[in-house]
Amino acid sequence: AQKVTQAQTEISVVEKEDVTLDCVYETRDTTYYLFWYKQPPSGELVFLIRRNSFDEQNEISGRYSWNFQKSTSSFNFTITASQVVDSAVYFCALSEHGSGNTGKLIFGQGTTLQVKP
Amino acid sequence: EAQVTQNPRYLITVTGKKLTVTCSQNMNHEYMSWYRQDPGLGLRQIYYSMNVEVTDKGDVPEGYKVSRKEKRNFPLILESPSPNQTSLYFCASSSMSSSNQPQHFGDGTRLSIL
């Protein structure tokens, strides 16, 4: 069965600290896609990144980086030198290529990140 | 500007009073879907649509209806709302009915059913 687990419910850091948000997924598909979304206090969902199951290269975008490891079924997200504006709920999500290709996103429970000044 | 627009943003209503949440996208996307967000559960898919006149159930379709008469619109209908449908609702669209396309989300509709 497909599942996404974000074990960290809440994380609190002080500005400029690095922080890693964990994401572990389960799927029987060999082709799948992983996503991270950010939900700031205003409530909208902002797409951050997509990763394909056949591409294990890590990715860096400014202060954000993502570590995809198929061997441990993890897709972790690191924010370097965190800022107050990074305070948000972060969701990891999985989409499977099979299962009739419904496009459904399976979301984790979300991790609330609070960055204090 | 490319966007997914939901209305209303907030609604408080009573049990049994039919309501419709509208969703419109201006990106000519084939795929649209509805999710609900509840604390501790993340987001769960309610219904989705691969294209005009093609809709199907997601994981939590009970108590909801949808229609897709035009490509840009995908309204969510609650025929007889109940308190357990109090939630934050998101409409999403993407450029193909494909699992690898990032979905663009609306700003959300917060429904309270009393």
Q: How far apart are CA A2 and CA A27, in angstroms?
A: 5
Q: Answer for the pair A22, A7: CB distance below 8 angstroms, yes or no.
A: yes
User: Given pLDDT bands bounded at 50, 70 and 90, which one contains residue B1?
Assistant: confident
pLDDT higher than 60, residue A99? no
pLDDT higher than 90, residue A96? no
Q: Answer for the pair B61, B47: CB distance below 8 angstroms, yes or no.
A: yes
Q: pLDDT per residue over A58-82, tens digit each? A: 888 899 999 999 999 999 999 999 9
**Beta-carbon separation of A33 and B99 below 8 A:** yes
User: Given pLDDT bands bounded at 50, 70 and 90, which one contains residue B40?
Assistant: confident
For chain B, what is the mean pLDDT?
A: 93
Q: Answer for the pair A20, A58: CB distance below 8 angstroms, yes or no.
A: no
Q: Answer for the pair A90, A36: CB distance below 8 angstroms, yes or no.
A: yes
CB–CB contacts below 8 A, A to B: 71
Which pLDDT belongs to residue A100?
A: 60
Question: What mean pLDDT is predicted for residues A30-42?
Answer: 93
Chain B CB contacts of A103 below 8 Å:
31, 33, 48, 50, 94, 97-99, 101, 103
Which member of A4, A43, A104 has the closest CB to residue B107?
A43
Question: What mean pLDDT is predicted for residues B23-32?
Answer: 94
Which pLDDT belongs to residue B98?
A: 61
Chain B CB contacts of A48 below 8 Å:
none
**A46 phi and psi angles, rounded to 5 deg:** -115, 125
Q: pLDDT per residue over B83-105, tens digit each? A: 999 999 999 998 875 667 788 99
Q: How many angstroms away from the CA of B33 is the closest CA of chain A?
A: 8
User: Which residue's structure tokens are 């690898």?
Assistant: B100
Question: What mean pLDDT is predicted for residues B64-84?
Answer: 97
Q: pLDDT per residue over A49-60, tens digit each? A: 989 898 888 888
The residues on B that touch A, with CB distances below 8 Å, are: 31, 33, 35, 40-45, 48, 50, 56, 58-59, 88, 90, 92, 94, 97-108, 110
